[in-house]
Structure 1
C-alpha cells in the first residue's frame, strides 16, 4: 500500500504544476481577460490624450534646447 500512495503523490506533485502552467498560458484566456482589463483601465480616448501630452512635452523640450543653443 505504501508504494501506491507514494506513486499517487508523485503523480499529483508533477501533474498539478504542469496543469497550472498549461492553464495560465492559454492564449484565449490572455486575450479575453487581460487585454479586456487593459482596455477598461486605459480606453482608446485616454491613450490619445496621453500621446498628445507626450507630444506637447517633447515640443517644449525641443524649444528649450533651441533657446539654450
Structure 2
C-alpha cells in the first residue's frame, strides 16, 4: 500500500504543474479568457473621453485663474 500511495502522489506532483503549464500556454485559452477578462476590467477608451479630459483641464485652469485674479485684486 505504501509504495502504491507514493507512486500516486509522485504522479500527481509531476502531472499538476505540467498540466497547468500546458493549459496556460494554449493560445486559444489565453485569447478567450485572459484577454476577454482584461477588456472587462479595463475597457478601451471611448472616442470622446480625451475631449472630456481636455474640457475638464480647461475648466480647472479657468477656475485657478479666476481665483488668482480675485486674490490679486484683494491684495491690491
Range into which the TM-score falls when normalised by the shorter chain: 0.5 to 0.7
Gaps of 5+ in 1: none
What is the Cα deviation at residue 48 of structure 1? 1.5
Task: Name the CA distance, whole Å, in 1 between partners of 2:58 and 2:26.
Answer: 40
Residues 33 and 52 of structure 1: CA distance in aligned 2, closer, same or farther (over 3 Å): farther
Describe the superposition over 1:14-68 as per-residue Cα deviations: whole angstroms up to 9, x where unpaired. 421x122x223x37233344334527x84x6x62133322222122112222222
The corresponding residue for 1:62 is 61
The corresponding residue for 1:8 is 8
What is the Cα deviation at residue 12 of structure 1? 0.3
Gaps of 5+ in 2: 69-76
Runs of 4+ in 1 over 3 A off after TM superposition: 31-34
Q: What is the number of residues matched between the two proteins?
A: 63
TM-score, structure 1 as length reference: 0.54
The structure with the larger Rg is 2
Which structure has the higher relative contact order (CA within 8 Å, separation 6+)?
2
